[in-house]
Amino acid sequence: QVQLVESGGGSVQAGGSLRLSCAASGRAFSMYAMGWFRQAPGKEREFVAAINWSGSTNYADSVKGRFTISRDNAKNTLYLQLNSLKPEDAAVYYCAAGSFATTPAGYNYWGQGTQVTVSS
């Protein structure tokens, strides 16, 4: 079992930045690939970024060059740096632990989510 708790969400203006964190507890954090997903009202949960145990990363085209995923295995923490935010980035952001996948089905454990609001 892995427990995940996100933090760092908030409200920013377009062009602003946020840093999301995901604290993990339970089984060895470094064993898992980690991902960030987001879900806006009325939309399906969509892939944002993923990082595997060795640090290889993958990004959705919509965030490439603006968002950066990273992890600190010593601190059992996953991060997502969000820069140049756009109103369309507004959503609840979820971290997840599982395989190095781009679909929710590839992940076994999920956090409760943190809200990101972007005003134009």
19-53 pLDDT tens trace: 999 999 977 888 899 999 999 999 999 999 999 99
Q: Looking at 1-120, which runs of residues are DSSP E strands?
A: 2-7, 10-13, 18-26, 33-39, 46-51, 57-59, 67-72, 77-82, 91-98, 107-110, 114-119
Judged against a pLDDT cut of 90, whether residue 16 lies above it is answered with yes
> How are the residues of the chain apportioned to helix, strand and coil, as percentages rounded to the nearest 5?
10, 55, 40
pLDDT at 42: 96
For residues 66-86, average pLDDT: 97
- Rounded to whole angstroms, the Cα distance separating 55 from 68 reads 12
pLDDT over 90 percentage in the chain: 92
AA identity, residue 107 = Y
Supply the mean pLDDT for the chain: 96
pLDDT at 1: 84
For residues 86-105, average pLDDT: 97
